Every structure is written in C-alpha cells, then in structure tokens.
Amino acid sequence: MTRPLPAALALLAAAALVASAGGLVVANADLTPAEVNLLFAMREYTLTYNEYADRLPGWVTGPFEDEKVNLHITSPDGVLVIGVTFQDRKIVQFDAKGCPDPMVTVTADNATVREVMTSDRPFAVFRSAMKHGTVTIEGNTLIGTLRAGMVGFGLRVMDLLGL
C-alpha cells in the first residue's frame, strides 16, 4: 500500500492498537466487546499509517507531530473516547479514556471510521466525510485551533485544485 494518508485520517486510525518498541501500548483498557472489536479492526490500518508517516507532506502530519489528540467515535451505543499520542509524526499510544488537555478533538461516527478503514481510497472517503460533517476537527487550544485550521485549509486547497 503506497497511498498517502492525511494526518486527520491518522486520527481516525488512532483508535487502533499501536505497536511500540516494547509491544502494544494500551492504557485504561476497560472497553466493551464492540469497542475492542473496533480497536483490533483498526490495528493494521494504524500500523500502515505509521509505516508511511515519514513520507507524508509536513502540512499533513506536522501539526500533530508530538501532540496528544482526543478521538471521539460516536455510535448508537454512545461515544468512545480515545486519547492519541503522536511522537515523531507517528502514533505511539492511545488511552481508552482520552487524554487530559488534548490539542484537538476529532469526532467521527463509527460508520465513517469503518468506511475509511476498508476503502481503497481512504483519503477520498475522509475528505468527503469532512465536507459532509461526519468528521470534524476542533481545536481545544489556540495552537490546536490554528493547526486544525491548517489541515482544513490544506484540504480545501486540494479541493480547489482538483487534487
């Protein structure tokens, strides 16, 4: 797989179990069976993102290079909050109860997360979800707001250029 993935797409993928030097890092893993299934389903996708993260443009991965982000995945059962830790543009850990003081919060519905994960064109699915409001990125700090705006601006420029 050689297709590039945007940083915000990585945030969707952040719900995955992520390999680190010592194995899988999962904090506060008190999850329902459905949540565990979603997390394991996304594991390979996150690992793929990490493999290609260094090749992605800086405007895609740079805003969240060494930050903590909360991912809210909505479903009929409620909201699963995942705290995502990025280090050197890669996802290194998630916390199943969220991060305190995250830079941004990304919200997506369960169906969109699964569609992005299974699509042959995940970037196109993500961009469409952003346009239709099924994925949102909200800054929780001034810097987070600026960085989230940078990602949104980059996506709009790509739309204008027809990329």
Using CA atoms, how far apart are residues 88 and 96, in angstroms rounded to an integer?
Answer: 21
Q: What is the DSSP letter of 77?
A: T
The arithmetic mean of pLDDT across residues 107-126, rounded, is: 84
For the record, the structure tokens of 124 come out as: 């196109």
Average pLDDT over all residues of the chain: 74
What is the structure's pLDDT at 12? 47
Q: What pLDDT shows up at residue 2?
A: 38
Q: Would you state the pLDDT for residue 138?
A: 92
pLDDT of the residue at 9: 43
Map out the domains of the chain as residue ranges: 7-58+65-157
What is the distance between the alpha carbons of residues 10 and 28, in angstroms, rounded to a whole number? 21
Answer yes or no: are the C-beta atoms of 38 and 80 closer than 8 Å.
yes
Tell me how far apart the alpha carbons of residues 154 and 152 are, in angstroms, rounded to a whole number: 5
* 7-58+65-157 topology per CATH: Nonspecific Lipid-transfer Protein; Chain A (3.30.1050)
**Residue 118 predicted with pLDDT over 70:** yes
Provide, rounded to the nearest whole percent, the portion of the chain with pLDDT above 90.
12
Banded pLDDT at 80 (limits 50, 70, 90) = confident
Predicted confidence at residue 44, as pLDDT, reads 67
Q: Strand locations in the chain, DSSP E?
A: 19-20, 23-24, 26-27, 68-75, 78-87, 90-95, 104-109, 135-139
Q: Which of 43-57, 83-97, 100-114 has the lowest mean pLDDT?
A: 43-57
